[in-house]
Structure 1
Amino acid sequence: MTAQRLPAILLLAGLLGLAGCMRYQQAPLYQLDSGDIRVPSAEQGIAVLLGPVAIADYLQREALLQRQADGSLTAADDARWAGSLAADLDQQLLRQLASRLDSQRLVLAPATAGFVPQVRLGLSITRLDSGPQRPAVLEAQWRLAGADGKLLDGRLVHLEEGHNGGIVDQVRAQSLVVQQLVEQLAVAVETHGTPAPQAPAPTRKPAPIKPAPPAAPRIPVVEPMRDESEVFRF
């Protein structure tokens, strides 16, 4: 009896496994939205080395995590990221920042040979998530340094964006906080990375020539003449 039921049990298990795989494969895939960006038209622009970009370990996966009311994280059953979220963030930051600065001269660290940056922008993203009842939250820290490595500016960032609870709107809200972060980075680069125009040096007028002081009056010298009488000639 047991032997007769074994093939049926194996068949049922196979069908359930196949259904599970089909469900996973049919889950919608999502990517962050870049917003209204454009490819920079000119190759000239400020040279920025973006990175290193450190992203929290829990974000380096395809699972679309949901922040629950108690603060815990669970993977969404019916949605996932289209690839690694960390890799998507790298490209989003690079493309959005290039568009905002209108510069083709942006490179992800490590820099390629021959690339000389004007500024170096380091970034650490420690949180990016949302949940059915929790807003989209991005927490990060960025540091802007000059070509010589001297720190020019830096900030701790906490950004929030509300949504209606659905997955689609959560992804929209997460995309918006990333765009807001890029806006802050672009303002910092424009403020500290672009040298201020030098004011022309004032023209110095030549010093007026002082008239020479009048010569002292010449006093005639009395020369005695000796002959038969003392005569003084002036």
Structure 2
Amino acid sequence: MKHLMRLPLSMAMLGALALGTVGCSIAPPAQFYQLQQTLPETGSRTNNTTVLLGPLKVADYLQRESIMQREADGSLVLSQEGLWAGNMQDDVGQLLLRQISAELGTSRISLYPDRIGMQAQAQVILNISRLDSGVEQPAVLEAQWRLLDGKGVLRNSRVVHFKEEHDGTLSDQVRAQSELIGRLSVQLVQALAGELPAPVVKTSTSKPAAPAATQQPKSKTESNSIPVVEPAREVEVYRF
């Protein structure tokens, strides 16, 4: 009888332990992050130059859903709390496109391979080999870009290394990485501005109206269309 009474009690204890174990194993929900534009929008798009951005390549280790965290010894671990909201390479390309367009003042910019109907006057080829941070490590961007003219001739090239501090939280790490992309776009705009022709300002092609011809005052003979009749002379008659 005693054994029968102990059985429900033991089962209840096992159930409580199982629930406790499950509760401890449930991790807090992950947060999704996305790189944000850091440069303010400038004036209207009055520049008519065309730019092709890409091909763009981002390091393979960044092609993951989880945000990569760099440790003090240089090793990399996947964050259990933060996830990227989209594909890293696509997000970087779209962010650079928006910021270069805003800084350069042109809407005629395309992201490779989307170049249908566009004859580019300049092309930027970009390879990002590092873009990460850690709780105690600053955000670091390492990349190489090449600038080609409309004929595919190399005009400029540079290897860059940018660093940005943060407060250690994932949200501020993402903010710092966005700042690095902004600094890269500023450098690319400066290089493009040095190679692209001056902005084309559309001017009116209509010819100025010819000045109205001044009409000469009409002479009296022209103004009077009725012929002038002179009085007839009186004929003198001589009588012999």
- Pair in the same fold by TM > 0.5: yes
Q: Does 1:19 align with 2:32?
A: no
Partner Cα separation in structure 1 for residue 168 and residue 24 of structure 2? 30
Structure 1 equivalent of residue 143 of structure 2 = 140
Structure 2 equivalent of residue 117 of structure 1 = 120
Aligned residues: 189
From the superposition, tell whether residues 196 and 97 of structure 1 become closer, same or farther in structure 2 (CA, over 3 Å). closer
Structure 2 equivalent of residue 228 of structure 1 = none
C-alpha deviation, 1:194, in angstroms: 2.3
Structure 1 equivalent of residue 74 of structure 2 = 71
Partner Cα separation in structure 1 for residue 176 and residue 132 of structure 2? 10
Partner Cα separation in structure 2 for residue 105 and residue 190 of structure 1? 14
Structure 2 equivalent of residue 58 of structure 1 = 61
Give the SS at the match of 2:146.
strand
The aligned runs of 1:1-234 (5 Å cut-off) are 19-20=26-27, 23=28, 26-38=29-41, 41-42=44-45, 44-194=47-197
Letter in 2 for 1:19: I
Larger fraction in strand: 1
Give the SS at the match of 2:26.
helix
Identity %: 40
Give the SS at the match of 1:185.
helix
What is the root-mean-square deviation in Å for CA atoms of aligned residues?
2.8
C-alpha deviation, 1:45, in angstroms: 2.4
Letter in 2 for 1:153: N
Partner Cα separation in structure 2 for residue 116 and residue 17 of structure 1? 59
Give the SS at the match of 1:134.
coil
From the superposition, tell whether residues 105 and 196 of structure 1 become closer, same or farther in structure 2 (CA, over 3 Å). closer
Partner Cα separation in structure 1 for residue 58 and residue 79 of structure 2? 20
CA contact (8 A) 2:48 2:199 kept: no
Structure 1 equivalent of residue 205 of structure 2 = none
Gaps (5+ residues) in structure 2? Answer: 1-6, 201-240
C-alpha deviation, 1:41, in angstroms: 2.9
C-alpha deviation, 1:16, in angstroms: 6.1
Partner Cα separation in structure 1 for residue 168 and residue 159 of structure 2? 27
Partner Cα separation in structure 2 for residue 13 and residue 51 of structure 1? 52
CA contact (8 A) 1:30 1:79 kept: yes
| Greater Cα shift, 42-51 or 59-68 | 42-51
Structure 1 equivalent of residue 229 of structure 2 = none
C-alpha deviation, 1:44, in angstroms: 4.4
TM-score, structure 2 as length reference: 0.70
From the superposition, tell whether residues 180 and 115 of structure 1 become closer, same or farther in structure 2 (CA, over 3 Å). same
CA contact (8 A) 1:96 1:182 kept: yes
Give the SS at the match of 1:169.
helix
CA contact (8 A) 1:43 1:105 kept: no
Segments of 4+ moved more than 4 angstroms: 11-18
